[in-house]
């Protein structure tokens, strides 16, 4: 198959980790007789520096014309004092919105070799395998008004949803649960928020369409606690934009490092943008130390969800697992025995496997 992939390296370690993922994709293309072509475009701080905007029109156009997008990360101290329209994150939020990517899938899986890398007890982390389905284009991050009022003495953000927006993400949650362990946890704050009460209504309305899926409602504060005390109780979590953002970072401690977590952001038709959950890690950027697994595993998700290349995706996932089994790891992973290597070397091992 022929596929055209847009690469958006962004800032900091974004460049290093997308380069790794591209090399792995090339190895897969070679092995399975596919042709992947790449077009690299600017986003985030790099785009602000070069084009004066975090999301240049050319980038948006290229993404719309592509078969899938692979992104690194955006942001860094250089742009922290910028006014809000010149913030790197605007590029990321903008491209997700422009492409209509409403469903963010974040699988969190404990790798057996990394049990010790987690600060949690391994009997707690053991066998945890969950999927967070986060709503991505609505909710608190996009509601208006969102502004300082008057002389700055008061301020407002808005958590707004159309019923239809809740319905489509909740359906994604049910669909995901129905091909996994058939357990859906809908996370909200229905004891306080009106939007959450409607969210709960929608979940209960849709539930009869998926009779084999067990549904549970959980308040977000309780979910935050359960994620690190009883993570194996979860299969699929479906939740609002900000709740999902926070819970997925929290869930990353199950794997031992942010550097292990991939994500997919999908549109109704399966088109997607794939990116690691972590940020641009300015503290280690440019030093060849970044863990590329989150981005490599995001590329595997791209093959699975956008290109229907199941075998190819599994080949990557198995290769990552084998490299970990052999004890190779980057510095972010607290692995007792084994050998610490850099970004390029660990990518070489993945390709070899």
Residue 206 and residue 202: Cα distance in Å, rounded? Answer: 6
Burial of 216 (0-12, 13-18, 19+ CB in 10 A): middle
* Catalytic position from the list 3, 90, 172, 189: 189
- Helical H segments across 230-342, by residue range: 241-251, 293-305, 310-325
Residue 158 and residue 131: Cα distance in Å, rounded? Answer: 27
Query: 135 contacts which partner out of Mg ion, ligand NAI, none, CB within 5 to 8 A by kind?
Result: none
Which C-beta is closer to ligand NAI: that of 5 or that of 17?
17
**Eight-class DSSP state of 270:** S
Residue 76 and residue 218: Cα distance in Å, rounded? Answer: 35
Query: 291 contacts which partner out of ligand NAI, Mg ion, none, CB within 5 to 8 A by kind?
Result: ligand NAI
Residue 294 interacts with ligand NAI (CB under 6 A)? Answer: yes
Active site includes 189? yes
Residue 140 interacts with ligand NAI (CB under 6 A)? Answer: no
Query: 76 contacts which partner out of Mg ion, ligand NAI, none, CB within 5 to 8 A by kind?
Result: ligand NAI
Is 290 annotated to bind a ligand? Reply is yes
Is 282 annotated to bind a ligand? Reply is yes
**Quick check: helix, strand or coil at residue 333?**
coil
* One residue of 54, 56, 75, 272 binding ligand NAI per CB under 6 A: 75
Is 279 annotated to bind a ligand? Reply is yes
Query: 332 contacts which partner out of ligand NAI, Mg ion, none, CB within 5 to 8 A by kind?
Result: ligand NAI
Which phi-psi region, left, alpha or beta, contains residue 126 (left: φ > 0; alpha: ψ -120 to 50)?
beta
Task: Kindly state the tokens that stand for 199.
Answer: 């969210």
Question: How, if at all, do strands 35-40 and 2-10 pair?
Answer: parallel
* Catalytic position from the list 221, 311, 318, 325: 221
Question: How, if at all, do strands 272-276 and 339-340 pair?
Answer: unpaired
* One residue of 102, 132, 279, 306 binding ligand NAI per CB under 6 A: 279
Which C-beta is closer to ligand NAI: that of 84 or that of 164?
84
Dump strand ranges (E) for 80-119.
103-109
Closest of 11, 148, 18 to residue 88, by C-alpha: 11
Residue 88 and residue 108: Cα distance in Å, rounded? Answer: 26
- Whether a cis peptide bond, with omega within 30° of 0, leads into 145 is yes
Close Cβ partners of 342 (under 8 Å, ≥ 6 residues apart): 288, 289, 330
Query: 56 contacts which partner out of Mg ion, ligand NAI, none, CB within 5 to 8 A by kind?
Result: none
Active site includes 249? yes
Is 165 annotated to bind a ligand? Reply is no
Is 289 annotated to bind a ligand? Reply is yes
- The span of 115-123, 165-173, 190-198, 279-287 binding ligand NAI (CB under 6 A) equals 279-287
Q: If you search the block for the tokens 């409403």, which residue do you land on?
A: 102
Which C-beta is closer to ligand NAI: that of 271 or that of 274?
274
Residue 74 interacts with ligand NAI (CB under 6 A)? Answer: yes
- Using CB under 5 A as the criterion, what x/- string covers residues 238-277 for binding Mg ion? -------x--------------------------------
Residue 258 interacts with ligand NAI (CB under 6 A)? Answer: yes
Burial of 217 (0-12, 13-18, 19+ CB in 10 A): middle
Which C-beta is closer to ligand NAI: that of 218 or that of 273?
273
User: Which residues are catalytic, by number?
Assistant: 141, 189, 221, 245, 249
Q: Detail the residues annotated as belonging to a binding site.
A: 76-89, 96, 106, 134, 221, 245, 249, 279-291
Q: What residue ranges bind ligand NAI (CB under 6 A)?
A: 13, 17, 73-76, 92, 258-259, 278-284, 290-291, 294, 330, 332
Q: Detail the residues annotated as belonging to a binding site for NAD(+).
A: 76-89, 279-291
């Amino acid at each position: 198959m022929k596929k055209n992939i847009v690469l958006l390296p962004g800032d900091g370690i974004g460049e290093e980790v997308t380069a790794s993922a591209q090399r792995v994709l090339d190895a897969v293309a070679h092995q399975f007789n596919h042709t992947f072509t790449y077009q690299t475009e600017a986003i985030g701080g790099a785009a602000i520096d070069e084009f004066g905007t975090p999301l240049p029109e050319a980038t948006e156009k290229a993404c719309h014309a592509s078969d899938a997008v692979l992104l690194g990360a955006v942001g860094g101290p250089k742009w922290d004092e910028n006014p809000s329209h010149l913030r790197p994150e605007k590029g990321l939020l903008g491209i997700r919105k422009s492409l209509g990517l409403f469903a963010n899938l974040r699988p969190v899986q404990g790798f057996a070799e990394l049990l010790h890398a987690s600060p949690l007890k391994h009997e707690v982390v053991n066998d945890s395998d969950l999927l967070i389905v986060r709503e991505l284009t609505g909710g608190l991050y996009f509601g208006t008004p969102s502004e300082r009022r008057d002389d700055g003495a008061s301020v407002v953000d808005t958590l707004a949803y159309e019923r239809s927006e809740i319905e489509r993400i909740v359906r994604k949650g049910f669909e995901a649960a129905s091909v996994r362990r058939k357990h859906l946890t809908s996370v909200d704050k229905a004891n306080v928020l009106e939007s959450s009460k409607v969210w709960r209504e929608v979940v209960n309305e849709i539930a009869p369409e998926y009779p084999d899926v067990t549904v549970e409602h959980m308040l977000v504060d309780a979910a935050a606690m359960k994620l690190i005390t009883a993570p194996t109780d979860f299969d699929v979590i479906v939740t609002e934009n900000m709740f999902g953002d926070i819970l997925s970072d929290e869930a990353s401690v199950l794997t031992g490092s942010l550097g292990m977590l991939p994500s997919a952001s999908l549109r109704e038709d399966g088109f997607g943008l794939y990116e690691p959950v972590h940020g641009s890690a300015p503290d280690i950027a440019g030093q060849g130390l970044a863990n590329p697994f989150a981005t490599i595993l995001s590329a595997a998700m791209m093959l699975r969800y956008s290109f229907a290349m199941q075998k190819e995706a599994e080949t990557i996932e198995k290769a990552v697992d084998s490299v970990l089994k052999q004890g190779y790891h980057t510095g972010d992973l607290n692995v007792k025995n084994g050998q610490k290597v850099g970004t390029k070397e660990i990518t070489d091992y993945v390709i070899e496997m």
